[in-house]
Structure 1
Amino acid sequence: MDTGKPERPGLRERKKQETRAALSWAAIRLVVERGLDAVRVEDIAAEVGVSPRTFNNYFSSKGEAIAARHLDRARRIAEELRARPESEPLWEAILNAVQTQFSPADMPADMSGGAAGGTRVDASGDMSGGAGDEVTGGRRAPDRRWIAGVQLMISEPSLQGEMFKANAAAEAELAAAIAERTGTDAVRDLYPRLVSGAVGAAVGLVMERWLRADPPVPFGPILRDALGQLAAGLPVPGRGETAGPRA
């Protein structure tokens, strides 16, 4: 009987997904800690306990391995959006779907520490959380060393090319889920691609603001504010007001 829910992958497929995710995590962590040029494919493979040949079965380069987190997160957001109740308004469903993939609760136990002072990436791949985070006002602010490493990593031209490709694929994944939910066509209709592009742009802007914030601020509140403004139709701020936290 068709329940309308995606089938759970088999054990073999789950193992492959876990290996892919572990390699991507290792690539991100090592590159943030050491720099892109100082990390070899062999280092990433050794971190996960597999051979370089196994790495090459999943990724063609270090940049592709790093960008894979962004694409995988987009796929999970699309899956979560499809699983949201049909009675839930679209923008509310999108907000909830996106937030589930940036939740600190999604942190895998084996990623809770690292060589660079125990910093870490959150399980959505947004690199916004760390075991060495500072606690400010009851909320965690990211470790400055981790932020500096992320800034250096994403400035690499070779990685930017991979992220551009991942962004395009990510928008297509989300647009397909939006089209299904709204009864539109992701190819012929503007609406699903407009919404998907707006959400992708918002998440990218939030990441940029988070990286530049001084002093460091938690990622979650900025994300919720940005998506909330989109859901409200981007109302024009009144004079003297700010549209969300400033970097």
Structure 2
Amino acid sequence: METATAEAQTLRERKKAATADALHRAAMELAIERGLPEVTVEAIVDAAEVSRRTFSNYFANKEDALLHGERERLDRILQALRARPAGEPAWSAIRASTRALFDEEGEPDPEWVAQSRLIRRHPSLIGQQLARHAEFEHDIAEELTRRVGDAMRARLLAAAFTASVRLGADVWLERRGEATLTDEIDRMLAAMGERFD
């Protein structure tokens, strides 16, 4: 009985994730094709073939749908950090968690690049992205507090981490082709890590 319940829950979770991904992809494709100002929630739900109510169950607005992929990546970094060995130095754990995500995903596809450039052109997306990064930084700091035992040091580590990742992505976008995104972010983390490990 428990196995059937667990399987049903897993199937439900996969369906929910697939619906969120479909809405995200529809929002991205429309924003790239038409430009963000021309994209409406109605257009997104039509493209994803779901109802407006379904959209509202997943996202607050079109910006939220557009940033869904990034939220998923940040969540995976946090989960990977939580799974690292407890005795591992904090900065090494952060760096390894980030490297694992990028190694798993491989180099960004053109959609990711287009999304990154789209975000940089629109204040409404930048605002939501910054808010999301602040939440992520808070979650990372909480996890790091368990490792270092000092909440202020953990906050400093988390802030340095998010700044390093953001700078690595910015540099990669500016100099596309000179290095992989993974290597660029890892280079920033290595440089910052000299102060912490």
> Taking structure 1 as the reference length, what is the TM-score of the superposition?
0.66
Paired residues of 2:119 and 2:126 also in contact (CA < 8 A): no
Q: Does 1:213 align with 2:175?
A: yes
Give how far 1:72 is off. 3.0
Cα gap change, 1:82 to 1:229, in 2 (>3 Å): same
Q: Supply the distance in 1 between the matched residues of 2:126 and 2:174 (Cα, whole angstroms).
A: 18
How big is each residue's C-alpha offset from its partner over 1:44-68, in whole Å with a ceiling of 9 and x where there is no partner? Answer: 3344332222112111211112233
Q: Name the residue aligned to 2:64.
A: 64
Partner of 2:4: none
One-letter identity of the residue aligned with 1:106: E
Percent identical residues: 34
Identify the residue that residue 5 of structure 2 maps to in structure 1. none
In 2, the alpha carbon distance for the partners of 1:19 and 1:149 equals 19
Residue pair 1:81, 1:97 contacting (<8 A) in 2 also = yes
**Partner residue, 1:53:** 53
Partner Cα separation in structure 1 for residue 95 and residue 16 of structure 2:
29
Q: 1:94 to 1:149 in 2, by over 3 A?
A: closer
State the Cα deviation string for residues 173-217 of structure 1 (Å, max 9, x = none): 111111122334xxxx21111111111111111121112115564
Report which stretch shifted further, 54-63 or 83-92: 83-92
The answer to whether structure 1 residue 169 and structure 2 residue 168 are counterparts is: no
Q: Could you say which residue in structure 2 is the equivalent of 1:27?
A: 27
- Give the deviation of 1:87 after TM superposition: 3.4
Gaps of 5+ in 2: 1-7
**Please, which runs of 5 or more residues in structure 1 have no aligned partner?**
1-8, 108-127, 131-142, 235-247
Q: Is the 8 Å Cα contact of residues 140 and 158 (structure 2) preserved in structure 1?
A: yes
- The CA RMSD over aligned residues, in Å, is 2.9
How far apart are the structure 2 equivalents of 1:85 and 1:212?
35
**Distance apart, 1:14 and its partner CA:** 4.1
| CA distance, structure 2, for counterparts of residue 31 and residue 61 of structure 1 | 13
Aligned position for 2:159: 197
CA contact (8 A) 2:137 2:159 kept: yes
Q: Which residue of 1 aligns with 2:76?
A: 76
> Which residue of 2 is the match for residue 129 of structure 1?
108
- DSSP 3-state at the match of 1:50: coil
Higher helix share: 2
Q: Deviations over 1:52-93 (max 9, x none)?
A: 221121112111122333333222212111111223222221
Mapped partners of 1:192, 1:229: distance in 2: 18
| Cα-to-partner distance string for 1:218-245 (whole Å, 9 max, x where unaligned) | 21110111111122228xxxxxxxxxxx
Q: Which residue of 2 aligns with 1:181?
A: 147
Mapped partners of 2:17, 2:152: distance in 1: 32
Q: TM-score scaled to structure 2, two decimals?
A: 0.80
Distance 1:153 1:100 in 2: 25
* d(CA) in 2 for partners of 1:73, 1:148: 16
Q: Which residue of 2 aligns with 1:88?
A: 88
Distance 2:62 2:86 in 1: 39
Task: Please name the residue that 1:230 is paired with.
Answer: 192
Instruction: Give the Cα–Cα distance (whole angstroms) in 1 for the partners of residues 62 and 43 of structure 2.
Output: 11
| Consecutive aligned runs of 4 or more in structure 1 exceeding 6 Å deviation | none
Structure 1 match to 2:97: 97
Q: 1:55 to 1:79 in 2, by over 3 A?
A: same
Structure 1 window deviating more from structure 2 (189-198 vs 83-92): it is 83-92
